[in-house]
Structure 1
Amino acid sequence: MFDADSGFDVYQHTQTDARAAQASPRELVLMLMDGLLDEIARAEGHMLAGRLAEKGQSVAKAIDIIGGLDSALDLQQGGALAENLHQLYDYCGRQLFSASVNNDASQLLPVLKVLADLRAGWQGLGTEVDA
């Protein structure tokens, strides 16, 4: 399950699981966004270093996280907001795929911008609002 060289990765995974179990829906989205942004940054580093296999793994993880965020949307009840988020997630996934296929780190920048803006919006909701 873990490719860790040390127990730190296991510890970190356990801590993340514990945080997720106690998190509100809003906090879960923020955790996913943080993980997504971190994974895209890793993908960028792998691209720049020429580590193609690792790049592919990071991009796949990022696309999976986007898929999870997208699948949580309620397009029936969420109206225009849910539809707009769905379209943004779709754009981000396609852009990540293109960046990976073309091994072009510059294609990650618009995705990072969109996701950072979305994350800031979720952060700005405050703890008094449930997602």
Structure 2
Amino acid sequence: MSSMRGAAAYGRGAGAYARVGVESGVMSASPHRLIVMLFDGAIGAIRAARIHIEAGNTAEKGQSISKALDIVNNGLMAALDTEKGGEIAERLGSLYDYISRLLLAGNLHNDVESLDQAERLLDDIASAWREIGSAAAQG
């Protein structure tokens, strides 16, 4: 029994350590890096949801998809500046809306293909953001 409590305590400690690491990364990140972190978080949540669907863990699947939706809607979508970004920002907004609908369909129907499509779209946009960051760092 005490080894179970020790493992649980270790898990809580490791989780707290990871949160501090993420919070430290967020505090020191540039705005560009923050957007990349949002993409990474959404993609990670979608991957977790897929695993939960395959394992039959309905509640965990819902939590993972909710996390991805929150990142897309309240992180990526909220970061768009249609005044400065113009048509590109509007198109990204439409794409984020489509991704949200894919995530909702994936949740409602346990549709792994919808999750795969949402992940591919986010990964494509994230790749472009990473390239922009690399180009800005070099030039």
Runs of 4+ in 1 over 4 A off after TM superposition: none
**2:114 aligned residue (107, 115, 126):** 107
Deviations 1:94-124 (A, max 9, x none): 1000110001112111111111100100000
Larger Rg: 2
Residues in 1 aligned to 2:133 and 2:65: alpha-carbon distance in whole angstroms: 30
Structure 1 position 77, deviation (Å):
2.1
Where does residue 39 of structure 1 map in the other structure?
45
Q: Which amino acid aligns with 1:29?
A: I
**1:72 aligned residue (71, 76, 79):** 79
Where does residue 98 of structure 2 map in the other structure?
91
Which structure features the higher share of helix residues? 2
Choose 83-92 or 119-128, whichever is displaced more: 119-128
Structure 1 residue 21 and structure 2 residue 27: aligned? yes
Q: Which amino acid aligns with 1:77?
A: K
Q: TM-score, normalised by structure 2?
A: 0.86
Residues in 1 aligned to 2:12 and 2:24: alpha-carbon distance in whole angstroms: 20
Unpaired segments of 5 or more residues in structure 1?
none
Deviations 1:46-76 (A, max 9, x none): 0111100000000000000001110111112
Q: Which amino acid aligns with 2:69?
A: I
Where does residue 126 of structure 1 map in the other structure?
133
Percent identical: 38
